Amino acid sequence: MTFSLQDMENRLVRYGALEPCKTAFIDARTPGSDKKENFCIIGPGVAENPGQHVHVKIAHGFNIGGARQPKGCVNSQHSHETEEVFLVHSGAWAFRWGHDGGDGEVILHPGDVISIPVNVFRGFECVCDDESFLFAILGGDDPGHVTWAPYVFKEAEGRGLVLTKGGRLVDTAVGETIPEGDEPCAPTSESDLASFRRMSREEMTACVVLNGEARHSATTDLAAHSRHVTEAPILGPASDAEGVPAAKISTPHGFHFRKLLFGKGGRIPPHARAEEEVVFVQEGAATLFWGDKYLELGKGDTITVPKGLIRSWWATGEGETTLFVVRGGDAPAAPKWVDETTRTDNRPTALFVS
């Protein structure tokens, strides 16, 4: 099996080409929340609005999304049935937890990561003047329904958006009607709140990896084969196959999350993976090679590389390049390296490993 340039371009989502949905959730018209942009980047999608654009509709066992908000714009308190992980790409963000946001707050900046457990109310606000973007991972192809805090339903009343029991958002302001057999979702009650987890600040701090906390290594299997590249586990159990220790957030999520730091001229030689690999460019620039083809990626770009495809990564920026990588499963296989000893062009081969 081979992948053409067009095949791989179809798996690439440029930051500048992201298509937002401004009515993705029930709070989208609530003052203070009405300027947020939500993105479904890779996976079946998680929005309540069935019309939201999904850039790459390939099931991975997790969903990749994003949020972009101006200063003061709030994503209301809600809970998910699978873990939700955020990487701050740009700006400054206040994450608050508890049904009213009063259980605690942490301010995060570029390169910081937070993994919010299931059954916990959370919300977030942009707290800086600059354009602010969050890269998000939500576990499962179908992460289930969103549960909104009681106040969210009250503030949404009379604004034209109705959430149904089936998890669908109906926009009555443009003439949409509730599908036959469905009905409006009852607001979350005060008694319902007892079934949700409350977390202390100490507990939530254990779910945060600050940019400077990432433990980079040059001796993991990937880094040892590479040039001027270090690897840091951000989320996931230890991987003996890869020589990667447990991350600070080591609880199983059904996916794992890594950080790769390239020095100038850094390079990962040709190899294949047993899992589909989503790569996000946090800083700098990188080029993905496969066979005799290549794609150049810049800051904020996201690509999913198919399993088995032999690929190579080169840092092409003037300074350091930082990539974040998501792969499915809690026990990833080691990379399959390609023997380059007989090659003279120092470029990846066109082989495909099954």
| pLDDT given at position 351 | 43
Q: For the domain covering 214-337, report its CATH number.
A: 2.60.120.10
DSSP 167-228: S-EEEGGGT--PPTT--BPPPPPTTGGGGS----HHHHHTTEE-GGG---BS-SHHHHHSEE
Nearest alpha carbon to residue 303 among 319, 288, 315, 322: 288
DSSP 222-263: HHHHSEEEEEEEEES--BTTTTBPPPSB-S--SEEEEEEEEE
Q: In the predicted model, what is the mean pLDDT of the chain? A: 93
Nearest alpha carbon to residue 139 among 262, 255, 286: 255
More confident residue, 313 or 143: 313
Residues above pLDDT 90, as percent of the chain? 85
CA-CA distance, 6 to 12, in Å (whole number)? Answer: 10
Tracing tokens 């969050």 back to the chain, one arrives at 134
Retrieve residue 129's tokens: 């003047």
Q: Phi and psi dihedrals of 306, rounded to 5?
A: -65, 150
CA-CA distance, 235 to 16, in Å (whole number)? Answer: 28
Nearest alpha carbon to residue 21 among 44, 3, 56, 48: 48
Establish whether domains 18-208 and 214-337 are of one fold: yes
pLDDT tens per residue across span 85-137: 999 999 999 999 999 999 999 999 999 999 999 999 999 999 999 889 999 99
Domains of the chain by residue range: 18-208, 214-337
Contact 29, 53 (CB under 8 A): no
| pLDDT given at position 347 | 53
Tracing tokens 């993991």 back to the chain, one arrives at 220
Q: Phi and psi dihedrals of 329, rounded to 5?
A: 90, 160
| pLDDT given at position 3 | 95
pLDDT tens per residue across span 26-47: 999 999 999 999 999 999 887 7
DSSP assignment letter at 33 = T
The yes-or-no verdict on residue 8 having pLDDT over 90 is: yes
CA-CA distance, 331 to 22, in Å (whole number)? Answer: 37
First-to-last alpha carbon distance for the chain, in angstroms, is 9
| Residues sharing a CB contact under 8 Å with residue 344, sequence separation 6 or more, in sequence order | none
CA-CA distance, 40 to 19, in Å (whole number)? Answer: 9
As a whole number, mean pLDDT of residues 333-351 equals: 65
Nearest alpha carbon to residue 167 among 52, 246, 281: 52
CATH for 18-208, options being 2.60.120.10, 3.30.300.30, 3.30.230.10, 1.20.1740.10: 2.60.120.10
CA-CA distance, 263 to 324, in Å (whole number)? Answer: 15
pLDDT tens per residue across span 230-242: 999 999 999 999 9
